[in-house]
Amino acid sequence: MDTQLSRDLKRLFETRLNSAMKMYLETCTRCGNCLDSCHVGASIPEIKYTAVGRAEVIRKVFRRYFKMQGSFAPWLGEVLEFDDGTLERIYEAAYSCTGCRRCMVHCPFGIDTQQLMSIAKALLIGADKEPKLLSMLSDMSIAKGEGIEETKASYAEAITNLEADVLALWPTAAEAEGAFSRPMPLEAKGADLLYVGLAGAHSIVPAAAIMNAAKERWSLSFFEAVNFGAFVGDSRKMKAIAQRIIDEAIGLGVKEVAIVECGTAFRVMRHFMGKQPFKVIAFVELIDRYLSQGRITLDKSKITEKVTYHDPCQIARNGGVIEEPRRVLRALTEYFVELRPTKEENWCCGGGGGLVAMGEMEFRMKSSKVKAEQMRASKAAIITTACENCHSQLSDLNEHYALGMKVEFLSHLVAKALVRPGQSYRL
C-alpha cells in the first residue's frame, strides 16, 4: 500500500476520534464478557466473529498510529499497519457485524462495537474497498432526492393504482372530502403526519388502511425511508438521504413523521439527525397510540395460533421502542409469546448492517443459526416483526432451517384485524 493512502487513512481515522470513540478504544480490558454476545460468534465460534475480536482489529490499527507503543513496542499491542491484509481484516470485521449492539448490553463499560465498526467502514470507503452495491444504492437515493420533481407524476400514478388494495383493507379514506379524501394522500397540505414507506406496496398499503381507520390527517412521502448511507457507514450520504425526508416534512408543516417498519431508517431519523420541528415515531408506536386512544379496534378472533415477536435491534434496544409492539400484540391476540431471550437481550436476526441488501445468503444463514434455534424454541406458528430487513432475514431463516413458521409484518396483522364499522368481533 502506498504511503500516501496510509497517511490518508490515518487522517480519516483521526476524524472519527470523538470523546466516546476514544473511550471505546481505550477502555476495553478484554474481560471476555462479550465473547458469546454476538449471534455470529455464537453461531460460528471464531474469535474474529466476536465483538471483542472485531473491535480489536480497529484497536490494533489505533495502537499503531495513535499510541506511543505503536512506534516503540508494537508487539505489546500486536499492532496492525495499513496494508491489504489489514484492510481485508477490517472488511471482514465491518461486514460481519450487523450493528445490533447486543454486545453493548453485556459489556461492563458499554463499549459500542457498531461505532468502532463505523471507523472500519469509513476506512474501507477511504481505501475504495467498501461494498460497491451499498454505495450505489446510497447514490441512487440521493439522486432521487435531487430529481424528485421529475418522478412525482409517475409515483402518484403508481400510488393511485394501489388505492383499491387499501380500500379492501379499510373501506374509506381518512376524511370524506378535501385533501384527505384519497386513500393515500400525497402532498396533502395541512397533514398532521407524514408517513415514509419503502419501495414496495407491502410497506404502504396496510399502513394506509390503519391510518385511514384512525382518521389520521396524513400524507404519503415521495421517498423511501431506507438509508443505505447508514449501512455503508458514510455519514455524509446518510444525512443527505435523511435530509430529503426532513425537507419534505418541513415543507408540508407536519407535526410528526412516522417511519415505516424499517429499523435503521427509524433510528437514523429519530436519533441521528438532531432536533427537528416535528416528532419522529416508528409506525408501531403510531398503532399503539391509535389503540390506546380507541381510534382503531382489533378483532382478536383473527389469530388463533401462537405468535411471537422479534424485536428489531434498531427499533428496540437502539431505538427505545420495546413495550409498544407488545401492547399492540396483546390487543391483537391472546396467543402472544415472548422469544427467549427477549427485548434488549433478543438475538439479532442477522440481516442488518446492509447484509440483506448485499445478498450474502450463505453467511447470513450460517451466522444466524442461533437465531433460528431461538425461533424454533418459541414453538410459535407466526413470528412477527416491525422491520423490513428483519422480515427478509427471518423469512430466509424460516426457509433455510425449515422452521415451518409464518413471518409477518406487525402492521399487516393489524391491518387484517381492523374492526370495520358494524362488524362483529372479539376483544
Partner 1 sequence: MAAAAEAVSAATQAVAPAAAGTTTDAVTAASQVAHTGLALAFDKLEYSVMVPLVYLSLAFLLVALVVRIVKILNSPPPPYQLALYPARKRPWMAALGESLGMPQILKRSPALWVALLVFHLGFLLLILGHLDILGSINLVPPASRDMLGAGGVGLMVTLSAFYFMGRRFKGSYRQISIPSDYLLLLLLLFTFLLGDLISWGNSWTASGFVMTKQDFAKYFDGLAAFTFADPRAILHGSHYHMVVLHVVLAELIFLVLPFSKIMHAFLALPINAVRRRVWTHS
Among residues 86, 318, 378, 389, the one that binds partner 1 under rule CB under 8 A: 318
From the list 18, 24, 71, the residue with the least C-alpha distance to 52 is: 24
Distance between start and end Cα atoms, the chain: 66
Looking at 103-111, 191-199, 371-379, 412-420, which segment touches partner 1 (CB under 8 A)?
A: 103-111
Interface size with partner 1, residues (CB under 8 A): 57
CA distance 33 to 55: 14
Site for partner 1 in 228-247 (CB under 8 A): 235
Query: Closest approach of Cβ 311 to partner 1, in Å?
Result: 10
Residue 132 near partner 1 by CB under 8 A: no
Residue 109 near partner 1 by CB under 8 A: yes
Cα 280 to Cα 249, 271, 273, 275, 312: the distances in Å are 10, 9, 10, 10, 17
Residue 23 near partner 1 by CB under 8 A: yes
Query: Closest approach of Cβ 50 to partner 1, in Å?
Result: 7
Per the structure block, which three cell numbers stand in for 301?
378472533
- The H or E element that residue 398 is part of is helix 388-400
Residue 264 near partner 1 by CB under 8 A: no
> What is the DSSP annotation of 64-132?
HHHSTHHHH-GGGGT---SSHHHHHHHHHHHTT-----HHHHH-SS---HHHHHHHHHHHHHHTT-S-H
From the list 316, 123, 151, the residue with the least C-alpha distance to 224 is: 151
From the list 358, 357, 254, 270, the residue with the least C-alpha distance to 320 is: 270
Residue 67 near partner 1 by CB under 8 A: yes
Among residues 39, 64, 101, 391, the one that binds partner 1 under rule CB under 8 A: 101
Residue 277 near partner 1 by CB under 8 A: no
The site string for partner 1 over 328-367 (x = CB under 8 A, - otherwise) reads ---------------xx-----------------------
Residue type at position 385: T
Residue 255 near partner 1 by CB under 8 A: no
Among residues 53 and 183, whose Cβ is nearest to partner 1?
53
Among residues 9, 39, 56, 98, the one that binds partner 1 under rule CB under 8 A: 56
CA distance 324 to 266: 15
CA distance 354 to 96: 10
Among residues 24 and 223, whose Cβ is nearest to partner 1?
24
Residue 104 near partner 1 by CB under 8 A: yes
Q: How many CB atoms lie within 10 A of CB 147?
A: 10
Among residues 162, 167, 322, 337, the one that binds partner 1 under rule CB under 8 A: 322
Among residues 26 and 305, whose Cβ is nearest to partner 1?
26
Looking at 69-77, 201-209, 359-367, 375-383, which segment touches partner 1 (CB under 8 A)?
A: 69-77
Residue 288 near partner 1 by CB under 8 A: no
Residue 78 near partner 1 by CB under 8 A: yes
Among residues 7, 11, 29, 402, the one that binds partner 1 under rule CB under 8 A: 29
> What is the DSSP annotation of 275-319?
--SSEEEEHHHHHHHHHHTTS--B-GGG--S-EEEE--TTTTTTT
Residue 256 near partner 1 by CB under 8 A: no
Among residues 76, 136, 164, 168, the one that binds partner 1 under rule CB under 8 A: 76
Looking at 48-56, 169-177, 360-368, 389-397, which segment touches partner 1 (CB under 8 A)?
A: 48-56
Per the structure block, which three cell numbers stand in for 192?
398532521
CA distance 392 to 384: 11
Per the structure block, which three cell numbers stand in for 215?
382518521
Tell me the chain's radius of gyration from C-alpha atoms: 23
The residues of the shown chain that bind partner 1, judged by CB under 8 A, are 17-24, 26-33, 35, 47, 50, 52-53, 56, 67-69, 75-78, 101, 104-112, 115, 235, 270-275, 279-280, 316-320, 322, 343-344
